Amino acid sequence: MILAQMTSLRIVRSILNEIDSGSNMINYKKLFLPIAILCCWLAHVTTYAQSQGNGNGAFATGKYRNLFKEQGHANKEIAKKIETAYQQLFFGDPETQAIYFPAGRNEQGNLAYISDVPHNDIRTEGMSYGMMIAVQLNKKAVFDALWNYAITYMYISYKDHPSEGYFSWSLKRNGEANEETPAPDGEEYFVTALYFASGRWGNGAGIYNYHQWADRILTTMRHHPVKTGMTKFGQRSIGPMVNEGHKMICFVPGIDRNNFSDPSYHLPHFYELWSRWGPAEDRSFWQAAADTSRVFFIKSTNAVTGLAPDYANFDGTPHVSRRGGHAQDFSFDSWRTAGNWSVDWLWFGKAPQEHVLSDRIQGFFASKGMAQYGCQYTLDGQTMLDARHASGLIATNAVASLAATKPIANEFIAALWNAPVPQVLVERYYDGLLYLMSLLHCSGNYRIYAPK
């Protein structure tokens, strides 16, 4: 590469010398060959940069689509919609609107949590989503209060505990654990939100050294030793959150249930960033994981409907849970999957099949009626399992428009724009968080901040 750069410089000099030779007549024939060679070299440089993982998306260009502006909405109107949703979900009526709750102070500062209000608990999913929303909206005080709560009440630091280095995925609202094992989607968002916080605000001391903590959690996710020991709820065996052979995220790191995945946990756009910013010894793994996830999206989605199951085996086939339920169907976790591949396209633009996937899933839901499609289906789309026209799914279907190519994508964007901020009890938490994050995605306000 260095030799090619030196050669290009010589070519440029020869061109400039001919132009500046003082002659009234420039010999264009003499310039043709060096200019052609230079153009070929520039094309090579572009291809080389893309082969190194830069892609053609926002990571490389710094440009983020604003789908609402593309539909004619003014910047002030868009900003007002986002702020309205944020204020209602974070600072609205605590009985009927809010999911964010202040929880006092400790020696590290203010404490606050996001509650899954319908289930009356606190989950790493919601805490990490709340932190991501806060960093994207430049709300440092909110971010720090959530992070302080997560470290104080959710983080497991006991050396003999099987989940050491992870976060309890669910707590009671008094801070007591409902379970002392982790769920990978929480850790994934914690890591990336902390990297972004480092980039946006710089690093502080202790728990507010965001970059250091992101590295620490990310290392644990891949290298957690297999440990068996007692928790408050019995003996557990806990290992890493990834399957090394398949190079993908597991559903849970519990040794008895780490043999399958969850398509909505696959975040190749995060893994791309980790392959640049994370601990050096793990970067090649995360790059391979990003490539694996892009292929997994194809394997795990239905070839006609584009619907993904909640859980999938490593080969992409639906995983049937021994506990029953809708693990093998398009259900609540699955809503996020299309958004994941679409943001991956926006940020990196490396997987053209993501166009096909977005067009496919939007085509399916449009065929069911834009105002009445349900929120749970069998993967073939033949059986609707839940008729609720859910705000969270309306939101993530709009995010799919970031990778879609068909005109129907505009109807999904309009549906999100026209949807009210989720307020009914069943939708305040999960649907509300997806709604607000989707507003950020679709307005170009969900951005990459390289850590310091």
Give the catalytic positions in this structure.
Answer: 125, 333
Tokens in use for 221? 């996710």
Query: How many helices (H) does the chain have, and how many strands (E)?
Result: 16, 11
- The CA distance from 301 to 296, in Å, is 8
Strand partners, 384: 377
- The CA distance from 249 to 241, in Å, is 6
Largest CA distance in the chain: 89
Torsion of CA 406, 408, 411, 412, to 10 degrees: -70
Q: Specify whether the CB–CB gap between 108 and 148 falls below 8 A.
A: yes
Length of the chain: 452
The DSSP element (H or E) to which 138 belongs, if any, is none
Looking at 96-236, list the stretches that DSSP marks H as alpha helix, in order from N- to C-terminal side: 124-136, 140-149, 184-201, 210-223
- The CA distance from 254 to 171, in Å, is 18
